[in-house]
Amino acid sequence: MGKKLFVLVIEDNEEDAELNVRLLKTAGYEVSYQRVETAVEMAEALEMEPWDLIFSDYSMPRFTVREALELYHAHGSKAPFIVISGAIGEQEAVQLIKSGVHDYLLKDNMTRFVTAIERELREAETRRELANVSNAFAISEERYRSYIDHAPDGVFVADETGKYLEANEAACRITGYSREELLSMSIQDILAEETSGTALHDFKMLTKTGTSQGVSLFKHKDGTKRWWSVDSVKLSEIRFLGFAKDITMQQNTTLEVVKAREELQQLNQYLMDARENERAKVALEIHDELGQALTAIKIDLNWVLEHISDSRKSFQKISRIIEMTNDTIKKVQRISAELRPGLLDDLGLAAAIEWYSDEFEQRTGITCELNLEDVPDGNERVNLALFRIFQEALTNIIRHANAKTVNVSLSYADMGITLVIEDDGVGISPEKVTSGKSLGLVGMRERARQISGSVEFYKKPPSGTKIAVKIPTNIYEPASL
């Protein structure tokens, strides 16, 4: 039997919570968890259990991650706090780390989930051991002094003004100063201006709750600026103990990954725009040039048919040519519409979905039941992205679902646009949702991300798949593709 873990999950989606717990169980842990989605529920849960881990969704309608962090710090919990997000920008990632989040993971890339959890559990154990040692200070000064001297992390003791009273060898190493130099200095002397506000907030939390955790930027003796992860405990009203670890390399790597991800998203957006522009151009050329040419052929053939005085056999031949021409014109119209549906530009998203659903139903025999609200004329890029996600969803249903019925709903409210596609097929597996190998799912996620939205995939009981796309109101404003 694996190690027992008590996990608090701050998540408004039960299926996402169960997926995270399932990943822990797969890694060999015996998991007992509780899911909460409001401040009241979280406050009660913090009082009930000594949690080993805390997971929090980044975006919830009734409870923000900022509010969750405030409760976490106010309670003084020592459990690692990990944010699991659908998407997050570089600036927000830095702010989360500064606010005390130990790590964050992206929902569409959970490959480092287990390693991140194991690392945070080890570090939490180290912090508990160090805190236990610090609490024994009054009992055994000699043991305390020995541990501090040999601790792998920088250890500082400061008074209520921030002046250093003690510093170990590791502290000297990460600051560049000798012990004598540090004991003549204060925290303010090496704190970088960029994070001075954050450090002040951490100190207030320390005096109020007795503990604090955070990340701040400090100045090395050589003039460079270094990121530190700092965990502090209150020894007395005038003595405070801090454990500092230089995480500059880790921090820079994280920021580089986030930056690279944002650059990749920008490239994807450029490629999507280029592809859609090319589709629109090809559709226009097919419609205007090939369609007109075929129409002219049809007119000429009709004229010949009316004026020919040949045999019945010639009449039948020309009739077949006219019939083939009609079929070709219809194919040209269908191809042109699929490349860039004119209804989307002329009549809007709801009309385009209704037209494509009718085409899909005639082509596949799968019944489409629609509940569509007219959405305001808004951002063309949003309408196009939603339509392409809808097309990809129906394509996946044809390929994998073995469904008989598809339900499509489109609604608009103060929170934004919601598009839901449900089928009664075999249902999508959780492994496929998280694997990242399905290009169709990746494409839908990327299209949603490019318009600041989200797309979620669920397996419906007893069978079937549900795809829910949500776009915030502030994105749905007039703009050009």
Last residue of a domain, one of 340, 358, 381: 340
Give the model confidence (pLDDT) of 139-180 as tens digits: 555 656 666 667 778 888 888 888 998 888 888 988 999 989
pLDDT of residue 152: 74
Domain presence at residue 336: yes
Domain presence at residue 257: no
Domain presence at residue 263: no
More confident residue, 116 or 282: 116
Give the model confidence (pLDDT) of 274-291 as tens digits: 567 666 666 666 666 566
* Helix (H) or strand (E) run with residue 105 in it: strand 103-106
Domain presence at residue 252: no
Domain range holding 200?
A: 137-246
Q: Are residues 120 and 141 in the same domain?
A: no
Q: Are residues 466 and 478 in the same domain?
A: yes
Cβ-count burial of 4 within 10 angstroms (0-12 exposed, 13-18 middle, 19+ buried)? exposed
Domain presence at residue 319: yes
Domain presence at residue 361: yes
Measure CA 249 to chain center.
24
Give the model confidence (pLDDT) of 425-435 as tens digits: 998 888 887 76
Domain presence at residue 300: yes
Q: Are residues 145 and 237 in the same domain?
A: yes
SS3 per residue for 396-436: HHHHHHCCCEEEEEEEEECCEEEEEEEECCCCCCHHHHHHC
Q: Are residues 363 and 463 in the same domain?
A: yes
Q: Are residues 121 and 142 in the same domain?
A: no
Q: Are residues 123 and 32 in the same domain?
A: yes
Segment 13-17 mean pLDDT: 85
Q: Are residues 408 and 384 in the same domain?
A: yes
Answer whether residue 10 shows pLDDT above 70.
yes
Rg (CA), the chain: 31
Q: Using 50, 70 and 90 to split pLDDT, how confident is the model at 479?
A: very low
Q: Are residues 15 and 85 in the same domain?
A: yes
Q: What percent of the chain has pLDDT over 90?
A: 12
Q: Are residues 176 and 198 in the same domain?
A: yes
Closest by CA to 334, choosing from 286, 384, 289, is: 286
Measure CA 363 to chain center.
35
pLDDT of residue 481: 43
Q: Are residues 360 and 421 in the same domain?
A: yes
User: What are the CB-based long-range contacts (under 8 Å, 24+) for 337-346?
Assistant: 337/283, 339/279, 339/280, 339/282, 339/283, 339/286, 340/276, 340/279, 340/280, 340/283, 340/284, 341/387, 344/383, 344/384, 344/387, 345/380
| CATH number for the domain harbouring residue 348 | 3.30.565.10
Q: How many domains does the chain have?
A: 4
The tokens of 465 are what? 């798949």
Give the model confidence (pLDDT) of 290-305 as tens digits: 666 667 677 767 766 6
Last residue of a domain, one of 129, 157, 192: 129
Residues in the chain, total: 481
Last residue of a domain, one of 112, 129, 146: 129
Q: Are residues 398 and 359 in the same domain?
A: yes
| CATH number for the domain harbouring residue 215 | 3.30.450.20
Domain presence at residue 265: no
Q: Are residues 177 and 84 in the same domain?
A: no
| CATH number for the domain harbouring residue 87 | 3.40.50.2300
Segment 248-267 mean pLDDT: 68
